[in-house]
Structure 1
Amino acid sequence: MALPFAASADFAIDKDAGDPCPNLKPDFGCGIHDHLRPAGFRGCTVFDCFGAGQHVAQHTFGGHDWRQAPHTARQMFAVLPVVRQLHELLWYLAEAQTLAAAQPLRTELAQAAALIERLSNGDAAALLALDVAAHRAEVSALLLRASELARAEVPLSRKARSRRNHRGADLVGAALAGADLRAANLRGAYLVAATLRGADLRLADLIGADLRDADLSGADLRGALFLTASQLRAARGDAATRLPATLERPAHWLP
């Protein structure tokens, strides 16, 4: 209901923000949930709200939904993307706190997480008044420090490490099969439809990397930093793709 989408390879139809999806059922379930990809709604299988939808409905608006209280709909839909961004930051901060190499930052990471959680628990007015971009920038800088500590565990020369800095790089369709990308900085890199078959991505920082249709067949992603389930669902892989123990192999990947 809240979010828009446009007819594309990811969505079969156009839908404006605030308009109900035609597949939305009266109980708020999805009428085509078990066959979203064949029905042309691949984008729905990739999207992750990081629990923001449940939080907004149950906490921010006290269990009331926009059908029961139509007057709350506009505000509720405006709050959702704010809380989603905060919950995404919490997810990254939680992972950063599990990194052994980032223990020198343990106090700062915990304090940042506590602040973001407190902000996410604010009322609708407070959430809409937040400067989310400023908080994202502060957390991003802290996460980068944690990432640098973790990636420093891979013994590389300064020159080799600089060559693996692909932050925000345009790698759309790049031929990277078998590439040694250990400890690479791929934050925000555009890897759409890139060939990463058999690539070594251990301890690579993948926060915000666009992996749509990237071929991860046989790639080694064990220990990859800030890799999310939604990134994997957007990519392609197979039974030989090695994943972090905390993430499941997407059902649509090749056997």
Structure 2
Amino acid sequence: MFDLIIIAYNISNTEKTDVVFLIELLWHSIGEMAIEKKKSPLSESQIKRMDRVGKEDKNMAPKYKVTYFNFTGLGEPIRYLLAYGNFDFEDNRFEMADWPKIKPTTPFGQVPFLEVDGKVINQSSAICRYLAKQCGLVGKSDWDALEADAVVDTITDFRLQYSAYFKAPNEEAKAKQLEDVRNIHNPNFLSKFEEKVKKNGGHFVNNQLTWADIYFAAVTELMAGILKEPVLDKYPNLKALKEKVEAIPNIAAYREKRPKTMF
């Protein structure tokens, strides 16, 4: 575009009026383009994501590898988001019996962790938030992003009640923890989640799909596996949200090919 302006200035003096007109026309066009971009219904992160997908081929795209146990748990939200974004990724699973051998090789002795082009990062929520930004799933505004973060943190508080089952010292303590989950924690958290989703058009945040929806759908799989019974049957809006996420084509394709596990 600016080459045209330079060429125009090289035209003879008798054409200076035309040159001025051309410059004004180009300047007006630039302004119109900026206005049109502003009108776009897509968020800036979604536009960047589309641009990246359009410009990169398979060899140029980042190489992802997620390492976690061979079950759903905290690895599943990461896998869901990688699938949603149509990222090629290595799903590196290992069995519980191999954990003592693998633990010393992990950041801070924790899983899951993500490798991106050889760089390694831990902390599942931080990883999910990073991937959500790549996919345009953090919300349309800073407030949306804050709400999504708050939902995920609250889901984590809820999930920890299930995690306590694995840390219980004996079978009696485990049975007591499951009873508390059924009778106290499930009604407390799920009833509030149900109301929030009902008010937000079937999503957690502002009538739109965000990573909070995907995170919820993924972690509730482990919950149902631990209880050995459905968790969301009493909560129609939450159940519908989970089914909606699982029906997203890329996530559905991942679920179809993933290994079958106990939970």
Same fold (TM over 0.5): no
TM-score, normalising length from structure 1? 0.33
Which of the two has higher C-alpha Rg? Answer: 2
Q: Counting strand residues as a fraction of each chain, which structure ranks higher? A: 2
Q: Counting helix residues as a fraction of each chain, which structure ranks higher? A: 2
